[in-house]
Amino acid sequence: MKRILITGALGQIGSELTLKLRDIYGADQVIATDIKKNDSEAAQSGPFETVDVTDLKQMMETAQKYKVDTIMHLAALLSATAEAKPVFAWNLNMGGLMNALETARELKAQFFTPSSIGAFGPSTPKHNTPQDTIMRPTTMYGVNKVAGELLADYYYHKFGVDTRGLRFPGLISHVAFPGGGTTDYAVEIYYEAVKHGRYTSYIEKGTFMDMMYMPDALHAIIDLMEADSSRLKHRNAFNVTAMSFAPEDIAASIAKYIPGFEMSYRVDPERQRIAESWPDSIDASAAREEWGFKYEYDLDKMTHDMIEKLRKKM
């Protein structure tokens, strides 16, 4: 990768990925784009363009202006928000992805877009979910992600676009606040623990979901994009994960560092339904074998780092 365009650069992943890529490849080589600019470091530390991903002409002109050789398409509506606005979610998630792929095809650019464990559904094996398995999601977000995986594969086989992707679990970060995902409780709980010493979970006790700390997710994106193309059998939507836990597990981890931390429950039926349709744990062996995926943070190491960083931030 030499010159990289990021859509959704001010979102949960983008706000950190933009800075990470600028550290590695140079600030001027990473062009951040989003629907509107803010005063964040990601928007201010290098080139920024306002881009609506549903506007193909705008996206194409921006990519051509900077002569990019890599496009990282992150702009999307997340799971819980997509359920509330399914038509908007389809138009943004699928229309934006098609425009980004067309731009990559035109510029002969390498391409990355994330998928999600949301691509799985109630009929998917819940324990140690395989890389290749039945995928019948029951959410608009999940339908978008399955369609997106297939579309990226199509652009690789039909047009030779070097498409790559990761099937992310819930991502936990101290930089960007949650943006409407089902796994966001695992971010909110740290903020509330540091501020108030207690948290009310909208996910029921005993509900396991896969998670990953953002630094590991960023390394995974870069490692995949820099991997030898000839080694990639799956190419798009590799399963990746670092840990699987239920709300009471993360509460117990926090209590090691914030004695007296209290957890209560007020379950959100919609997000609970979504969570129960997803796997308890997934198998990331294909990612390890094809491009050397690895992670550094387990639950307690992540908890220690999150609390330390949030105390400084807040």
Strand partners, 262: 198
**What secondary structure letter does DSSP report for 282?**
B
SS3 163: strand
The yes-or-no answer on residue 141 being catalytic is: yes
DSSP string, 255-273: HHHSTT-EEEE---HHHHH
Distances from the Cα of 87 to the Cα of 76, 91, 160, 230, 275, angstroms: 13, 6, 30, 38, 21
Burial of 56 (0-12, 13-18, 19+ CB in 10 A): middle
User: CA–CA separation, 243 vs 121, rounded Å?
Assistant: 19
- Which of the following is catalytic: 25, 66, 141, 191? 141
User: CA–CA separation, 184 vs 271, rounded Å?
Assistant: 10
Rounded to a whole number of angstroms, the CA Rg of the chain reads 19
What tokens does 218 get?
Answer: 């960023």
Q: Which residues are catalytic?
A: 141
